[in-house]
Structure 1
Amino acid sequence: MAEIKNHRIPIYAVLATVLFKLLFLLTHYIQEDAFITWRVAQNLLDYGVIGFNGNEKISASTTHLYVFVSYLFNLIFGKENFIEPLLIFNSVLFTIGSLFLSHLLLKNAWHKAIFIFLIGILPPAIKISILGMEYGILFFLEMMLLYYGFNKGKKWAQIVLPVLIIFTRIDTVIFLGVIFIIDIFWNKKIRWPYIFGGISGVGGMLAFNCLYFGEIVNNTIVAKKLAYDKQYSLQQNFDHFLQNFGNFWGMLKLPVDFNPLTILLLIFEALCFMYLIRQKEKRNFFLWIIFVFGWVKQVVFLSQKSMFDWYYWVPQMLLFVPVLLFVIEQKQRKSLWLALLIIFYSIPMLAFQTIHCIATGNGEWNYRRTIGLFLNSYEKNKNQWVFLEPAGYVPYFSGLKTIDEVGLVDKKIQGEIRKDKKNFWINTVKNRKPKYLLSYDDLFTSENAEYLQLHYKLIKEFRVKDHLKSDNKILEKIYILKPSGSDYNLYERID
């Protein structure tokens, strides 16, 4: 009976962790790109087409599987009510994924419970759970693959899960590849079902893209590479890496180029990892997988100058796992080690993320969303076009057809970039004549001011400073401490 109760302890930890993190839903901190995926899902619902603007097919979202899941939530709960249930779903799946991970690495039920909660309140874990991105599902599938496919040896998991993982994100070939290589070295055998699953996943994804969208890789990858492509010398590449890795490798992102706290964290993570793998245990196989993956994923993405936070959430968390294991399994002065970790790391990180969520949620939900809502009420014809960047909140809440400056949701912009990258923006305005322009800049003082003044009028200014007030004085102090968002000017075509 006591053994049965002990088995339930990690389950209780899952429930407690999910309930605790649901408090963060009150911050309304939802990532901009989540609204791109959700608009694609609603486009599928309205037009029967995976796209962004009506009947035009385009892989505007980086994730096919999450588009389908979002589609189902829209279908079940309706467009007005699906967001909270979906965020709860993401949080539950992520936390179950941490349960699978605890089973792989720990034996004691109480140790598992502590692990589940402490990993669940790390900044990247909170963001994975509540920001609306696909990483809750992804983490669940990846940990499920390790648990059932490689711990339990289930062939169905080795075949099916790689397919689902790749259809969630194409860059997960890095994760699957690391597993394959370490498995070969560790077990000295080839798992043919796993190879079949990997080939099926990659082949299925490429075939789907080719047959449905007429492209090999997702449009988002092509668009970002085209828009952000810049030639660097070897020295510039090295300097760029040094300036940025500190903010993307560690969990605490500071408003400076270099974050020295990351160095200390990396050293401690590496020392804990080396300490753990000296012990001859079966779990070392999984420790090698998650630690090597964490390093490889971050190096690859930083080398490609991928500066979006979400690429690094899962690696950040997995690299920290050895620290949690080291502290939780201390045989002497365990309480002291655990107290030091909680007081000097977990609580400060949680406080930092709480402030960040409150401030950024205000800047996104209370500010940027209002721009979309204004356009929604101002323009009743939803076939009109708005030209802007980025293509998340404003298009979603305005309902207007959208041209974004990167080309994530509109391929024609990519043609303009290829023809004349320097002047693609004004060329797009002249050729396509969008009714609305939303810009960070004062367009009437730009180099194209003469044309723009002739054809457009300024109808509204949106300013971050106007959204830093609150009846709650604590919230107001947080908003002022960390103002979030950008100033915008909205223009309407007059001819």
Structure 2
Amino acid sequence: MSENNNKNLPLYAVIFAAIAKLYFLLTHHIQEDAFITWRVAQNLLDYGVIGFNGDTKISASTTHLYVFVSYFFNLIFGKENFIEPLLILNTVLFTIGSLFLAHLLLKNPWHKAIFIFLFGFLPPSIKISVLGMEYGILFFLEMALLYYGFKKEKKWVLIIFPVLILFTRIDTVIFLGIVFLVDVFWNKKVKWSYVLGGIFGISAALAFNWFYFGEIVNNTIVAKKLAYDRIYTLHQDLEYFRLNYGNLWGMLKMPGEFNPFTIVIALFELLCFIFLIRQREKRNYFLWIIFLFAWTKQIIFLSQKSLFDWYYWVPQILLFVPVLIFVLEQKVKRNWWLASLIIFYILPMLAFQTIHSIATGNGEWNYRRSIGLFLNMYEKDKKQWILLEPAGYIPYFSGLKTIDEVGLVDKQIQEEIKKDKPNYLLNTVKKRKPKYLLSYNNLFEGKNRFYYQTHYKLLNEFRIKNHLQSDNKILEKIYKLKPSGTDYNLYEKIKD
């Protein structure tokens, strides 16, 4: 193969990896919170307001930039057809981001091509690409900042990209901060254009929140902190970490409290990182950035009791980067190392994610979406309210105004949590009188049963067991192997 074709190998890998990954679209595995962002985008389209329920402003989505991107995709493709094009964009941007990462860390075009492909089929990479969240765009922006801003030393990138990154997620201040610290330590000087970009980025994000929503911090952060806040002792903190690190630090969730698989992989990642930085190459600068960022973000979010999977996707794949480089650059028995990695890790992880996506897609798209579609057909008045949790699929497909139990999409419930947290749901129902209640529990049992029996009737029971059948026997086995979904009871207010 000619030298020019060799140089193009990474680009070919980007195209091939992006196309190959699109089969995951068939699983309909889309993250619940993506539908919150998309409803916010459609609310902007319909009412001209960034909100969730009509003309009420609220930062119900964690990401501002992705709301605007989703808005334009709704505008261009229509509400019925925008999802697939947007997921394709996320996949392409993530894969281009992996190309930038390969350019930062590898020299050999073949190594870059193999890296892009294997990196792209790790479970978190698949989830970043096709689950509908903002991390495809975010990963692209972060890797572009490192490549063009710190490798190619484009000053305009150092100023503009921090603004875009922080406008995507405010918690990216962790990433930008680690980059700054490593750069100062490594180069013994300050890149003032980058400092300016950071100041602009923080100022733009906070100013937008303040002048548009009247708040400094996104409502989603405030709501989660309020709803999930608990006081822990040091012993409880350590126990909490022990119980949860394995399912969030690694790529494979396992039942039980002890996850030896994650420990083995974490140790191997650390050993590979140490082996690589001992080589004293220029790329160590970027290895330190991605490895320190990944560890820092994991520790911060675990310490803050943040158990949402998507916070850990980018750190999970970045921690695995030294393993891929270590294997690709083996001088002795490299093919053996590579074959072992593919056979014993990449392919099993790909199979795991495929089964997981098929099962979860059934539980979310086929089951939870059906509840929203039922309500959409049953209730024609879209000004009616429903109280439920979570606020993704069902509000999106029902079209009803929504009160979620955490307060992500409705601030009034946060006031009830502050007043009387143990009874805030009942107090909200009494005060707001939503027409529909959707609950995991049987509301006609328990201490508040008399109120619910008096004012509401059971309209429908939704059971996940009724959605575990398929004409395809393989799919049916997967559905039953890993049933995904929660039983719901739907209540309708009795007319006065």
Q: Answer whether TM exceeds 0.5 for this pair.
A: yes
> What code does the residue aligned with 1:450 have?
F
Q: Secondary structure at the match of 1:257?
A: coil
SS in 2 for 1:465: helix
Deviation at 1:397, TM superposition (A): 0.1
Partner letter of residue 209 of structure 1? N
The C-alpha deviation readout for 1:424-448, integer Å capped at 9, x for no partner, is 0000000000000000001101211
Give the aligned partner of residue 64 of structure 1: 64
**1:29-428 → structure 2 map (5 Å cutoff):** 29-428=29-428
How many Å apart are 1:246 and its aligned residue?
1.0
Distance 2:391 2:198 in 1: 32
**How far 1:5 sits from its partner (Å)?**
1.1
Residues 1:17 and 2:12 aligned together: no
Counterparts of 1:394 and 1:256 in 2: how far apart (Å)?
31
Q: How many angstroms apart in 2 are the aligned matches of 1:14 and 1:162?
A: 25
Q: CA deviation at 1:256?
A: 2.2
Give, as a single letter, the amino acid of the residue that structure 1 aligns with 2:477.
K
Please tell me whether the aligned partners of residues 247 and 258 of structure 1 are also in contact (alpha carbons under 8 angstroms).
no
Distance in 1 of aligned mates of 2:447 and 2:10 = 61
**2:490 corresponds to:** 490
Question: How many residue pairs were aligned?
Answer: 495
- What is the CA deviation profile of residues 226-280 of structure 1, one whole-angstrom value per residue up to 9, with x for unaligned ones? 0000011111011101111111100001132331111101110000000000112
Matches of 1:285 and 1:134, distance apart in 2: 27
User: Aligned with 2:422: secondary structure?
Assistant: coil
How many Å separate the matches in 2 of 1:446 and 1:459? 19
In structure 2, the residue matched to 1:4 is: 4
CA distance in 2, matches of 1:97, 1:466: 41
> What SS is found at the alignment partner of 1:443?
coil
Question: 1:453 aligns to what?
Answer: 453
Q: Partners in 1 of 2:293 and 2:28 — Cα distance?
A: 31
The amino acid that maps onto 1:263 is I
Whole-Å separation in 2 of the counterparts to 1:184 and 1:416 = 47
How far off is 1:7 after superposition? Answer: 1.6
Cα offsets for 1:208-230 (capped at 9, x unmatched): 10000000000000000000000
Q: Give unmatched runs, 5+ long, in structure 2.
A: none
Residue pair 1:28, 1:361 contacting (<8 A) in 2 also: yes
Report the Cα distance in structure 1 between the residues aligned to 2:192 and 2:333, rounded to whole angstroms: 46
- Indicate the residue corresponding to 2:465 in structure 1: 465
Contact 1:247 1:257 in 2 (8 A): no
Distance 1:65 1:254 in 2: 34
Return the letter of the residue paired with 1:278.
Answer: R
Alpha-carbon distance, 1:463 to partner:
0.2
Deviations 1:172-199 (A, max 9, x none): 0000000000000101110000000001
Identity %: 74
Which stretches of structure 1, 4 residues or longer, exceed 2 Å deviation after superposition?
255-258
Report the TM-score, using the length of structure 1 for normalisation: 0.99
TM-score of the aligned structures, taking structure 2 as reference length: 0.99
Measured in 2, the distance between the counterparts of 1:259 and 1:17 equals: 30
The answer to whether the 8 Å contact 1:385/1:434 transfers is yes
Letter paired with 1:233 = T
Give the Cα separation in 1 of the matches to 2:110 and 2:342: 16
- Amino acid in structure 2 at the alignment position of 1:301: F
Which one-letter code corresponds to 2:276 in the other structure? Answer: L
CA deviation string 1:143-202 (max 9, x = no partner): 000000000000011000000000000000000000000000101110000000001101
Deviation at 1:4, TM superposition (A): 1.9
